[in-house]
Structure 1
């Protein structure tokens, strides 16, 4: 769990990194902060190491983002430290306004009104091959491996997650490759994630009826640099669907706990080398559709990042 001491320590690293790193990277080539805290797009990590620091520097980022869809909202904030353009350590907290989950009270649960679900994420990413900038005139991508330890505090909704056979903490593992075609202004990223997360972990990890094995889910991003300061792009993140089968054994409408893939279309703007903003249209598919009259969850995502 994130506590005040941890946050203060990471902010201290952010401040000291700002003094240390003379921001040698090109604008936006370090990505933005994903919702899990790692550098990348808004929905998925990239192989790049966050911050503006180059191979002989230490840098850092801090971010805040908000996603609003038809029935839910999600606030995310966190910090990340990039070390020698080789290692990235990130901390993030997600705060999910899950008010519709009170709908399960008809099954005998006692979920509080306006329930929030909070998830803390500790991430580590290591570059293992290639360099997105230096290899931009070759076919060699930058390749990184990473892990994200996630712990979910669901409050009064926790007994529901337990009843579905899901756990409240787990670790995702991923390998990601980023290819930047600098002269064409095109970036392509592919990530393969091993995960048991339900809705990224906000609804726990795994589930009953044998849904406790890791599933390998691809994630794809494409971005185009309109100018030195503006990039547009799209992301597609495949998701596991661990809870649908167990949901179908309950007195619920069929497929009432179905989970679907996430996708977005985004534009990012960096007015200076230290500040960037991202705006996206997001489509998160169905999130516990039984609770929200089978509505799909579409809306907007806005993020701001400070980088050194």
Structure 2
């Protein structure tokens, strides 16, 4: 039996599946969208893909704006990324977190209506595999990356410092993305080495022995309904560093600073090779539940991206 070369096999599969080639030669939506941290992937977690529409001999770029709203909080993100030869991705993002419920901490000097801002600078390197060319075998695309974050907490800064949280940290991650082209299915797994609280918005690490890095998993799955429309789900686990400190301050088992995993269900639409919209239902669990009567934070996510 003769086997097709991988490139020809991938092209053949592409003709038989809903995944469609962009004019640049890159399959629509296989570059993911801009995550809240700026890297290409799903909305909550990076994938091993390199963002933009650039292929192996090209340099491309993308930019995105994102808004997340829950019962008590809001998060706005702007970000951009550059993809170099389908091998290296450099990204930057600016987050603005509306921490309205912190007005309850006015007695500690926290300004009502305080916003917490965070700068994120990332780099991702594809080290093995090709999501499209290896779609006819079990080899995933594998990448390693880092995200350096610095939080500007304003009047919340002294509170975070008292909890043992630092104002900067660097996450390191490795991920594997597998595209099952014929089945129109993409699966991603990420392991993140981190000590970020609420992805860094509440600082990094904590007191009472919670200042160490930990490995946390992140999972994504996406299914293409047609060439320009995908649905999927994500979950991002987080280290929960501040709960012991919160229990020491507010009472044993109070859970006042408990942190939960983040989840979403999303729909991504790419009406053209250069533009995509992502709409999601998000479940961010508890964010400083001691300030909001223990309410879980669920709501909506909307992101618009342009890519070249």
After TM superposition, is the score higher than 0.5?
Answer: yes
Determine the C-alpha separation between the residues in 2 that align with 1:159 and 1:49: 38
Deviation per residue, 1:32-80 (Å, 9 max, x gap): 0000000000000000000010000000000000000010000000110
What is the rounded CA distance, in whole Å, between the counterparts of 1:154 and 1:185 in structure 2? 42
SS of the residue aligned with 2:250? coil
2:93 matched residue in structure 1: 92
Residue pair 2:149, 2:170 contacting (<8 A) in 1 also: yes
Shift of 1:251: 3.2
* Residue of structure 2 in register with 1:236 after alignment: 235
**Deviation at residue 226 of structure 1 after TM alignment:** 0.3
The residue aligned with 2:83 is 82
Q: Deviations along 1:141-199, whole A, 9 cap, x unmatched? A: 00000000000000011011000000000100000000000111000000000000000
Deviation at 1:113, TM superposition (A): 1.1
**CA–CA distance in 1 between the matches of 2:209 and 2:94?**
29
SS class of match (1:294): coil
Is 2:55 the partner of 1:35? no
How far is 1:84 from its partner? 0.1
Per the alignment, residue 293 of structure 1 pairs with 293
Q: Structure 1 residue runs of 4+, over 4 Å off?
A: none
- Which runs of structure 2 are paired with 1:182-197 in the superposition (5 Å)? 182-197=181-196
**Which residue matches 1:165?**
164
1:290 is paired with a residue whose SS is helix
The SS at the match of 1:299 is strand
* Structure-2 residue corresponding to 1:132: 131
Question: Distance in 2 between the 1:50 and 1:22 partners?
Answer: 16
Listed one character per residue, the Cα deviations across residues 201-233 of structure 1 (whole Å, up to 9, x for unaligned) are 000000000111101000000000000000000
Deviation string for 1:68-107 (max 9, x for gaps)?
00100000001100000000000000000001012123xx
What is the TM-score of this pair, normalised by structure 2? 0.91
Please say if residues 23 and 273 of structure 2, whose CA atoms lie closer than 8 Å, have aligned partners that are also in contact. no
Aligned: 1:65 with 2:69: no
CA–CA distance in structure 2, aligned partners of residues 160 and 283 of structure 1: 26
Q: Secondary structure at the match of 1:249?
A: helix
* Distance in 2 between residues matched to 1:133 and 1:103, nearest whole Å: 51
Return the offset for 1:22. 6.6
Distance 1:232 1:100 in 2: 33
Q: Does the 8 A contact of 2:250 with 2:256 survive in 1? A: no
Segments of 5+ residues of structure 1 without an aligned counterpart are 1-20
TM-score, with structure 1 as normaliser: 0.91
**Inter-partner Cα distance in structure 1 for 2:108 and 2:103:** 8
- The Cα RMSD (Å) is 1.1
Question: Do residues 250 (structure 1) and 249 (structure 2) align?
Answer: yes
In structure 2, the partner of 1:150 is 149
Other-structure match for 1:214 = 213
Q: Which runs of 5+ in 2 are unaligned?
A: 1-21
Paired with 2:186 and 2:94, the residues of 1 have a C-alpha distance of 28
